[in-house]
């Protein structure tokens, strides 16, 4: 696997050079995190500079799309004066400046207030999720029409025709869907779809697999299991948020109802990887040690990890691209550096692609 850094529009030149030094060779992949405040008319010029920067490099790149503007599509508010729609179009227009192949990382998962979802009977939630997943499939085809040239996707012929007639809009980005973690915001918001791999089944897509997110989700179901069988060895891993171990979360419990038990993909991280590997184009690598927002996106092996990295790396090492997506790394490069150092020391087999 080629390992790369995550960067933003302010630090990419600096981070590229630092990472190159730490890796001992040119990085071959990198992810740009676009935040909402980047979505201004200046973005186009900034992307021109990114394109210049990329010119003499052999670098696979992805752009992580901010979630909020995508709501312009999910809420079917496509009127011109909607500021979200305008932001989305700024992004689409700016991405045309990037002349090479690129990925656009999108969280399509549906976010809701935790209180609302907690109060909802499970059978109502099951029906609501079913409706949301149908909408998500339609929305994905709209996002594809805007951001892709469609050539990489197994799309229906009508969508193909539309893409051709809108060739001035063709940006040539491949949309990659990322799975959602357990919580959003400050644990006051929650993701209610796109956690298990099974939730994606009615969409045409490839995906970003976020190891930290999967670890949070898998850990939720393990907690319940462990609460019932306290002799389980893994108990010692649960020191984090110990008082909340038995907390039942409606939007996670609903998965058991939908899929007749814990969905297969969330029975272990390995199970998710095996099911989704074929569909995965890009990995996000970071550690996790619980189920909450504070437990995700951690420096690799810096804390009480719930991830067996040796096992995971055996399964992913032959895939092409993985970026170190550590929370707060945009302000503190050392978080990327430490994670890279751990992997280089303990999981050398991960870097066998690095010289090809």
Minimum distance from residue 106 beta carbon to Zn ion (Å) = 11
> Quick one: 84 or 210, whose CB is closer to Zn ion?
210
Number of neighbouring beta carbons within 10 Å of residue 349? 12
Min dist. Cβ of residue 37 to Zn ion (A): 19
In this chain, which of 210, 237, 287, 296 binds Zn ion, going by CB under 5 A?
A: 210
**54-62, 210-218, 243-251, 312-320 -> range binding Zn ion (CB under 5 A):** 210-218
Query: Is residue 335 a contact point for Zn ion (CB under 5 A)?
Result: no
With contacts defined by CB under 5 A, name the span among 85-93, 280-288, 333-341, 348-356 that binds Zn ion: 280-288
Looking at the chain, the number of H-run helices and the number of E-run strands are 12, 11
- Are 351 and 3 a contacting pair, CB within 8 Å? yes
Minimum Å distance from CB 335 to Zn ion?
14
Query: What span, in angstroms and rounded, lies between the C-alpha atoms of 306 and 234?
Result: 9
Residues 6+ apart with CB under 8 A from 135: 74
Q: Which two tokens stand for residue 321?
A: 């691209």
Note whether 284 binds Zn ion by CB under 5 A: yes
Chain CA centroid to CA 218, Å:
16
Region of 53-61, 206-214, 311-319, 330-338 interacting with Zn ion (CB under 5 A):
206-214
CB of residue 282 to Zn ion, shortest distance in Å: 10
Give, rounded to a whole angstrom, the gap between the first and last alpha carbons of the chain.
Answer: 10
Q: How far is the CB of 285 from Zn ion (least distance, A)?
A: 9
Q: Judged by CB, which is closer to Zn ion: 261, or 328?
A: 328
Binding mask 306-325 for Zn ion (x = CB under 5 A): -------------------x
How many chain residues are in contact with Zn ion, going by CB under 5 A? 3
- The helix (H) or strand (E) run that includes residue 114 is helix 114-118
DSSP string covering 148-166: --STTS---HHHHHHHHHT
Q: Does 139 bind Zn ion (CB under 5 A)?
A: no
Cα 348 from Cα 311, distance rounded (Å): 13
User: Which residues contact Zn ion (rule: CB under 5 A)?
Assistant: 210, 284, 325
């Amino acid at each position: 696997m080629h390992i790369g850094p995550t960067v933003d529009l302010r630090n990419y030149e600096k981070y590229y050079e630092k990472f190159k030094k730490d890796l001992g060779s040119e990085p071959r992949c990198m992810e740009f995190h676009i935040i909402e405040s980047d979505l201004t008319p200046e973005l186009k010029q900034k992307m021109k500079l990114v394109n210049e920067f990329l010119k003499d490099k052999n670098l696979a790149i992805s752009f992580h799309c901010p979630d909020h503007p995508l709501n312009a599509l999910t809420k079917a508010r496509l009127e011109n004066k909607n500021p979200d729609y305008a932001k989305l179009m700024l992004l689409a227009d700016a991405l045309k400046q990037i002349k090479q192949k690129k990925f656009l990382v999108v969280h399509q998962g549906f976010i809701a207030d935790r209180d609302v979802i907690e109060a909802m009977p499970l059978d109502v939630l099951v029906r609501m999720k079913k409706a949301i997943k149908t909408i998500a499939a339609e929305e994905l085809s709209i996002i594809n029409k805007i951001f892709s040239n469609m050539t990489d996707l197994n799309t229906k012929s009508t969508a193909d025709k539309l893409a051709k007639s809108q060739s001035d809009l063709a940006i040539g980005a491949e949309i990659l869907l990322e799975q959602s973690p357990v919580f959003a915001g400050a644990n006051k918001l929650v993701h209610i779809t796109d956690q298990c791999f099974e939730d994606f089944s009615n969409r045409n897509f490839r995906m970003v697999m976020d190891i930290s997110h999967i670890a949070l989700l898998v850990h939720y179901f393990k907690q319940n299991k462990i609460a019932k069988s306290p002799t389980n060895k893994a108990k010692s891993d649960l020191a984090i948020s110990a008082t909340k171990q038995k907390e039942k979360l409606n939007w996670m419990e609903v998965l058991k109802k939908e899929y007749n038990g814990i969905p297969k993909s969330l029975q272990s991280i390995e199970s998710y990887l095996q099911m989704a590997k074929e569909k995965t184009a890009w990995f996000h690598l970071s550690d996790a040690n619980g189920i909450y927002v504070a437990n995700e996106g951690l420096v690799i092996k810096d804390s009480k990890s719930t991830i067996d990295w040796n096992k995971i790396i055996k399964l992913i090492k032959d895939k092409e691209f993985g970026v170190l997506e550590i929370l707060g790394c945009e302000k503190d490069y050392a978080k990327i550096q430490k994670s890279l150092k751990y992997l280089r020391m303990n999981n050398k087999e991960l870097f066998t692609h690095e010289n090809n």
